[in-house]
Amino acid sequence: MTRRILFLFFLMGSFISVGQQIVNHQLIARNLGEKEMHDGVVIRTFGFAQSFGEQPPIPGPTLYANEGDSVVLDLFNVSQGAPHTIHLHGLDVNQENDGVPHLSFEVHHMEHGYYYFVAPHPGTYFYHCHVVSTIHVQAGMYGVFIVKPPDGSNTTWDGGYSYSQEKLYTMSEIDPLWHEDSVMEHDHDTTQTIHEVSIPEYHPSYFLVNGQSEQQLLESEIVLQSAKEEVSFLRMANIGYLANRITFPEELNAKIISTDGRPIVNPEISDTLWISPGERYGVLIEPIVDLIDSIEISYVNMNTLTSEDIQYVPVLVSGTNGLNEVLIKRTFELYPNPSADQFYIKSFGQAYDCINIYDAMGRLVHVENHDYTEKKSININLAEGIYNVEILLSQCVLDTLKWIKR
């Protein structure tokens, strides 16, 4: 309560210029959430909701403020067990509002905690729990905080680029083992700064974009739909424990213009973008042709530097009924890539009966004949290099994928 009164005095004594407001957000911390994955499996989650009647979504609700707004964030902890906090990742708030338990404050069951700050540079930021963050972030306690320019317009920052629409893509992963009670219901002694907890090895099996994966990415909120020559602003953020390698269709003319809430002085025109855990990037796109394609998001293991999975965000330029075509286009997936002596071919429902592997000189170096419909492990000992993997059915080539052997 004292902090609230002090903040109100601060606001009364402060000069708030025209257009700048006091913005209130409330997040309700829950630890009995449930999330249904793309394959129907239901896992337990922690998370932040905005009402008592809803499951805490993953990611949490996207919060907004305009540059210069005074933000009051009310964390109401309605969950038993360990306390929770809000760390305002990248917003450079003062120590008291930073959300690190032993350096700030923690919010216990049925308590409110209030965070106060003035919204800084326009950009994309995270909020997440910082209590045993390794477990609580994986459990789902994260979301994105977006700061718009002072006038709230569709401009990247005051005097920056104008755009007609923006899309937010937040990448993360889920290892179901980490969502079992034995991990989530960890002991927590609030008098200690170091905690002994059970932290399993991390082997994620769900690779998420905005909490969705596989066929869920065909939902309209995920699909990047644009008119030709329309400028869109993509906010791309990674809160997972793997790195992301993003590949844009070159027809999108992707331009990387900002990172971590600050403009990039010399914007980079590139169809490839790496985003490591905790980073955010702003990307402008302006397609110049009609297009049905996808943004490829690879999830790269930070230790082995190999891709563990690839997800595809559909892209439709000037198209309104192209989702099925996108689905057909992504019939097969090859991963991890690059890899050593083993990789997998995953089929999205398409039967095939033969795999041919060609080296860079076009020589056929390996053939496998079987009937497959789902995932197939290929074990092969070849020299390092780039290979073309041809997938066939009844001698018709269905797809050709590139494999990098390292």
Partner 1 sequence: MDLKSFLIFFLWLSFSFNSCSTQVNDTLFINSGTLQTYNGSSINYSCFNESDAFEKSNKVLSYLVTDTVSLTIINNDNVAHLFKVNELGVESQLIIPGEQETVLIHSLNSGTFIYHDAENFPNHKIIGLAGILVFRNGNYSSFYWNLKEIDTVWIKDIAENNMVSTIYNPKFFLINGNNNPNINEDSLARVTGNVGDTIIIHVVNTGNSIHSIHFHGYHLKVEQSSEHPSHVGRIKDTFPINPMEVLTLELVPHQPGEYPVHDHNLIAVTGANIYPNGMFLTMLIEP
For residues 30 to 69, the per-residue mask of contacts with partner 1, x marking binding by CB under 8 A and - elsewhere, is ----------------------------------------
Rule CB under 8 A: is residue 303 a binding residue for partner 1? yes
Minimum distance, C-beta of residue 204 to partner 1, in the bound complex (Å) = 11
Q: Which two tokens stand for residue 273?
A: 């973008």
What is the Cα–Cα distance from 97 to 116, expressed in whole angstroms? 7
What is the Cα–Cα distance from 283 to 237, expressed in whole angstroms? 11
CA angle 172, 174, 175 (to 5 degrees): 145
Rule CB under 8 A: is residue 311 a binding residue for partner 1? no
Edge-to-edge order in the sheet of strand 112-118: 42-49, 22-36, 70-77, 112-118
The terminus-to-terminus CA distance of the chain in angstroms comes to 59
Tell me how many residues contact partner 1 (CB under 8 A).
46
Q: What is the DSSP string of 246-259?
A: EE--GGG--EEEEE
Minimum distance, C-beta of residue 14 to partner 1, in the bound complex (Å) = 17
Task: Determine how many CB atoms are found less than 10 A away from the CB of residue 339.
Answer: 18
**Region near partner 1 per CB under 8 A, out of 40-48, 94-102, 205-213, 346-354:** 94-102
Q: Which of 164, 215, 304, 373 binds partner 1 (CB under 8 A)?
A: 304
Minimum distance, C-beta of residue 196 to partner 1, in the bound complex (Å) = 6
Handedness of CA 51, 97, 80, 142 (dihedral sign): positive
**Region near partner 1 per CB under 8 A, out of 17-25, 38-46, 198-206, 379-387:** 198-206
What is the Cα–Cα distance from 107 to 188, expressed in whole angstroms? 13
Rule CB under 8 A: is residue 156 a binding residue for partner 1? no
Minimum distance, C-beta of residue 105 to partner 1, in the bound complex (Å) = 14
CA 25 to each of CA 74, 94, 114, 376: distance values in angstroms, whole numbers, following the listed order: 6, 19, 10, 47
Minimum distance, C-beta of residue 94 to partner 1, in the bound complex (Å) = 6
**Residue 175, helix vs strand vs coil:** coil
Closest CA to 210 of 225, 200, 222: 222
- Restricting to residues 123-142, name those near partner 1 by CB under 8 A: 132-135, 137-138
348 bridge partner residues = none
Minimum distance, C-beta of residue 203 to partner 1, in the bound complex (Å) = 11
For β-strands 63-66 and 142-148, DSSP reports them as parallel
Q: Which two tokens stand for residue 339?
A: 């890899």
Minimum distance, C-beta of residue 73 to partner 1, in the bound complex (Å) = 16
Q: For residues 96 and 219, which CB has a smaller minimum distance to partner 1 in the complex?
A: 96
- Restricting to residues 242-301, name those near partner 1 by CB under 8 A: 242-243, 259-262, 264-266, 268, 274, 276-279, 300
Rule CB under 8 A: is residue 347 a binding residue for partner 1? no
Q: What is the DSSP letter of 86?
A: -
Minimum distance, C-beta of residue 112 to partner 1, in the bound complex (Å) = 23
Q: For residues 132 and 326, which CB has a smaller minimum distance to partner 1 in the complex?
A: 132
Q: For residues 235 and 330, which CB has a smaller minimum distance to partner 1 in the complex?
A: 235
Q: What is the DSSP string of 266-335?
A: EEEE-SEEEE-TT-EEEEEE---S-EEEEEEEEEE-TTT--EEEEEEEEEEES-SS-HHHHHHHT-EEEE
Closest CA to 403 of 353, 345, 363, 349: 345
Q: For residues 201 and 384, which CB has a smaller minimum distance to partner 1 in the complex?
A: 201
Rule CB under 8 A: is residue 6 a binding residue for partner 1? no
Upstream peptide bond of 59 is cis (omega within 30 degrees of 0): yes
Q: What is the DSSP letter of 55?
A: P
Rule CB under 8 A: is residue 176 a binding residue for partner 1? no
Minimum distance, C-beta of residue 294 to partner 1, in the bound complex (Å) = 24
Q: For residues 268 and 353, which CB has a smaller minimum distance to partner 1 in the complex?
A: 268
Rule CB under 8 A: is residue 197 a binding residue for partner 1? yes
Minimum distance, C-beta of residue 277 to partner 1, in the bound complex (Å) = 4
Rule CB under 8 A: is residue 405 a binding residue for partner 1? no
Element (H, E) at 372: strand 364-372
- Restricting to residues 63-92, name those near partner 1 by CB under 8 A: 87, 89-90, 92
Q: Which amino acid is at 4?
A: R
Residues in contact with partner 1 by CB under 8 A are 87, 89-90, 92-95, 98, 100, 103, 132-135, 137-138, 193-199, 201-202, 241-243, 259-262, 264-266, 268, 274, 276-279, 300, 302-305
